[in-house]
Structure 1
Amino acid sequence: MSGAPAAQPGALQHVKVLDLSRVLAGPWAAQTLGDLGAEVIKVERPGTGDDTRAWGPPHVTDAAGRPTGESAYYMCTNRNKQSVTVDFTRPEGQQIVRELAARCDVLIENFKTGGLAQYGLDHVSLSALNPRLVYCSVTGFGQDGPYAHRAGYDFLIQGMGGLMSISGHPDGAPGGGPMKVGVALTDILTGLYASTAILAALQAREHTGRGQHIDLALLDVGVACLANQGMNYLYGDKVPQRMGNAHPNTVPYQDFPTQDGHMILAIGNDGQFARFCHAIGEPDWAQDERFVCNAGRLAHREELVGRIRAATVARTTRDWIALLERHAVPCGPINTVRDVFEDPQVQARGLRIAMPHPQAGEVPLVASPIRLSDTPVTYRHTPPQLGQHTDEVLARYLGFSPAQLQAYKDDGVLG
């Protein structure tokens, strides 16, 4: 297992997080904080828990090959957490969550706007109880505006936020039409923005003594992450179009056919283009006034790309990459997910880890990409089984006795 030994202090070892979120964006933020050393308590519904527990197959299986009830999807975003099952639609459950929030530094939730107010678990209620609480709300459209009360999902936001209008092949081309990204990227980016905002709020608290409310919307993140495409529109007043794998601002920067498949060229400046031309035996291209600078290559994109495509089919992907790397030309294969985890660089970086699981023995996980020299990421808790830590957490945080815990379970307040 990669990462630091569990005994080594994490950067956020002093931070306690109450995670009321489900599915992906909120749990991704909480997992990131947990990887950095925070103690994360995941509050789930008794009996069912996080929706993604059932989002399989595939599922984690035990030694006999039987499903354990934990999906691979759930496993991707819930490590370094402790699961507590509380029914906070009940007054007793609401009080338990309030008492936990009073002892935590951060709360993350992704209910509909205003959805937790009916339970007394909204920001106004909990900040009155714990003024130092950093309260992070993740919604589809934010806490205000005409769409504030709509439900928001990644696929929906990829469409509404413009990403799908610039992803996919152009209309009229084979396979043309809008296309979403193959993972819920807006959710993941929102989770990363959320963790960044939480860290900023914790730092601000060191100076003000107060927590604050973080309002994060998937739509806001989707628009912000249009990046150069958004700015191209704002400055050029021209609506970006779908270009397949081509780049709107530099050429050649896309996939090209090879003798046995495809490869990627990612040429970002004129010097790289000149080296590419010499490497493939076409030095005249680097002197052609149409191609010598990027502005010219953009203006003559179709002709240049056609020439390159005619040349790249002469060799295999492996041969091209070996040749171009010798000339310092950025290039690479288009890997399958299997290829990714078999890649020597991915293996050298330890991006596949394994952790013990109470039923499966050991489960594979994808490592955190964060590398800190003094307070590295640690992997302390496998994604928990539903309610695995209810007794331990409530006894430690709230002083519940075994008899109290059993009474709440008998009454259905705890799972």
Structure 2
Amino acid sequence: MIDPAELARAFDRPTHGPLAGVVVADFSRVLAGPYATMLLADMGALVVKVESPGGDDTRRWRPPVRGDESTYFLSVNRNKFALSLDFADAGDLAIAHRIVARADVMVENFRPGALARFGLDAASVRARHPSLIVASLTGFGSGAGAALPGYDLLAQAASGLMSVTGDPDGPPTKVGVAVVDVLAGLHAAVGILGALHARERDGEGQRVEVDLLTSALSGLVNQASAVIAAGASPGPLGNAHPSLAPYEPFATADGTLVIAVGNDRQFAQLCEALETPDLVEDARFATMPARNAHREILHTLLTEALRARPAAEWTARLRDAGVPCGPLNDIAGGIRMADELGLDPVVTAGPAESGVPTVRHPIRWSSGDLDYSKAPPERDADRDRILRWLAADSA
């Protein structure tokens, strides 16, 4: 780690924060790696984003755009300092090595083996810098799956996630966001934090490996457990749940209401609020396994009752009765709801007058030490500042 005061002078980084003083050499691009390094940057780490001369691929993934910048890129690159390097150029490669030499953590998601010819592979850099933590993200591991391309869609398909997503009579469906990349990014951030803690104890760095396929299987939680532990064969249920009923959207007099009943007590409370006490006494619905076995008829009976009133009226009534329920929002509605609940979901990265609105870091610390001081960087925007910092270290 570097004295946070030094980084504050060189980069205007915060001197307080969970990771103040930690330097991250970020050689990752697209989503999983950049998401992980953005979370670290929010916590105060100095993240030096090294891009190819053409820039991160997501700079060109458009529409939509804000100004002339891809909103995809903006979503995962705040608080970073960027420079572009061509590893085929000896001078640029030397700069890359100097950045790694100053780093606590290196993050990369190149094809396994691709960095070896530049001496930037995990084995080479860790041999020179034993305290360095190298986090490598791949699609399907660094062994037999090394040659397989690491795209989220391929991981969703290969893991089985798509097989349990969508309507029962429809085709397998991908999730509407690159959720496996996000999971892998979270896993990488957790692994890096664990490795930093271990280094504090024993002084040694280590390699942290995360692959999309295992991240997806871990994220399948109960669905994967059903296969591994019970030999089940889960399939798509639309918006229903494989183990809980009722646990899905329902039509009301004027819109959709989501009801999430997790136990028999909540089901009884639901029936009381709907003025359908006979459903509680019906043997078909008396227990959760029974409700699952008769979920179609239960859905029909509940919908008949719910169509009598508008969604807002049902929401108030069911919440008063202790029944978990809520609206079916679009993304803008989800942001508004979070704002109304005081969760402050949107922050500005960079100066208030010229910064970029973005979803805040998802974790809160009682210290409040989170940083949003720097907007996502333009390509090669911080080259001079980074080179001055490296030169000062070698002077």
TM-score range, shorter chain: over 0.9
Label 1:7 to 1:149 Cα distance change in 2 as closer, same or farther (>3 A).
closer
In structure 2, the partner of 1:202 is 196
Measure the CA separation in 1 of the matches of 2:122 and 2:248. 46
Measure the CA separation in 2 of the matches of 1:214 and 1:155. 23
Secondary structure at 1:361 match in 2: coil
In structure 1, the partner of 2:66 is 60
Q: Give the alignment partner of residue 32 of structure 2, picking from 19, 22, 25.
A: 25
Q: Give the alignment partner of residue 377 of structure 1, picking from 349, 360, 370.
A: 370
248-257 or 89-98, which moves further after superposition?
Answer: 89-98
Pairing 1:353–2:347 present:
yes
Q: How does 1:261-300 map to 2 (within 5 A)?
A: 261-300=255-294
Report the Cα offset of residue 357 of structure 1.
6.3
Measure the CA separation in 2 of the matches of 1:45 and 1:8. 30
Label 1:357 to 1:71 Cα distance change in 2 as closer, same or farther (>3 A).
farther
Secondary structure at 1:348 match in 2: coil
Is the CA contact (8 Å cut-off) linking 1:32 and 1:195 kept in structure 2?
Answer: yes
Pairing 1:225–2:219 present:
yes
In structure 2, the partner of 1:324 is 318
Q: Give the alignment partner of residue 155 of structure 2, picking from 154, 157, 162.
A: 157
Q: 1:90-110 CA distances to partner (integer Å, 9 max, x unpaired)?
A: 222222111111110000001
Label 1:344 to 1:184 Cα distance change in 2 as closer, same or farther (>3 A).
closer
Which residue identity is paired with 1:59?
A: V
Label 1:232 to 1:339 Cα distance change in 2 as closer, same or farther (>3 A).
same
Measure the CA separation in 2 of the matches of 1:327 and 1:254. 18
Secondary structure at 2:249 match in 1: strand
In structure 2, the partner of 1:412 is none
Residue identity (%)? 42
Label 1:307 to 1:228 Cα distance change in 2 as closer, same or farther (>3 A).
same
In structure 2, the partner of 1:391 is 384
Measure the CA separation in 2 of the matches of 1:344 and 1:220. 31
Q: How does 1:243-254 map to 2 (within 5 A)?
A: 243-254=237-248
Label 1:232 to 1:346 Cα distance change in 2 as closer, same or farther (>3 A).
farther
Report the Cα offset of residue 344 of structure 1.
5.6
In structure 2, the partner of 1:405 is none
Secondary structure at 2:143 match in 1: coil
Is the CA contact (8 Å cut-off) linking 2:15 and 2:21 kept in structure 1?
Answer: no
Is the CA contact (8 Å cut-off) linking 2:350 and 2:373 kept in structure 1?
Answer: no
Aligned residue-pair number: 383
Which residue identity is paired with 1:337?
A: I
Measure the CA separation in 2 of the matches of 1:16 and 1:105. 5
Pairing 1:368–2:361 present:
yes
Secondary structure at 1:276 match in 2: helix
Report the Cα offset of residue 354 of structure 1.
1.9
Measure the CA separation in 1 of the matches of 2:185 and 2:338. 29
Label 1:346 to 1:396 Cα distance change in 2 as closer, same or farther (>3 A).
farther
Is the CA contact (8 Å cut-off) linking 1:40 and 1:81 kept in structure 2?
Answer: yes
Label 1:12 to 1:307 Cα distance change in 2 as closer, same or farther (>3 A).
same
Report the Cα offset of residue 216 of structure 1.
0.8
Measure the CA separation in 2 of the matches of 1:400 and 1:14. 15
Report the Cα offset of residue 347 of structure 1.
6.1
Measure the CA separation in 1 of the matches of 2:129 and 2:368. 28
In structure 2, the partner of 1:51 is 57
Report the Cα offset of residue 128 of structure 1.
1.6
Report the Cα offset of residue 240 of structure 1.
0.2
Label 1:8 to 1:280 Cα distance change in 2 as closer, same or farther (>3 A).
farther
The structure richer in helix per residue is: 2
Is the CA contact (8 Å cut-off) linking 2:115 and 2:121 kept in structure 1?
Answer: yes
Secondary structure at 1:399 match in 2: helix
Measure the CA separation in 2 of the matches of 1:349 and 1:55. 30
Is the CA contact (8 Å cut-off) linking 2:338 and 2:345 kept in structure 1?
Answer: no
Measure the CA separation in 2 of the matches of 1:345 and 1:330. 20
Label 1:398 to 1:131 Cα distance change in 2 as closer, same or farther (>3 A).
farther
Which residue identity is paired with 2:63?
A: P
Residue segments in structure 2 that go unaligned for 5+ positions in a row:
1-11
In structure 2, the partner of 1:406 is none
Report the Cα offset of residue 267 of structure 1.
0.7
Q: 1:68-99 CA distances to partner (integer Å, 9 max, x unpaired)?
A: xx211100000111001211122222221111
Measure the CA separation in 2 of the matches of 1:260 and 1:370. 36
* 4+ runs deviating over 4 angstroms: 5-8, 344-347
Is the CA contact (8 Å cut-off) linking 2:349 and 2:376 kept in structure 1?
Answer: no
In structure 1, the partner of 2:92 is 93
Secondary structure at 2:355 match in 1: strand
Report the Cα offset of residue 268 of structure 1.
0.6
In structure 2, the partner of 1:170 is 168
Q: Give the alignment partner of residue 334 of structure 1, picking from 328, 339, 349.
A: 328
Secondary structure at 1:353 match in 2: strand
- What TM-score results when the alignment is normalised by the length of structure 2? 0.93
Secondary structure at 1:211 match in 2: coil
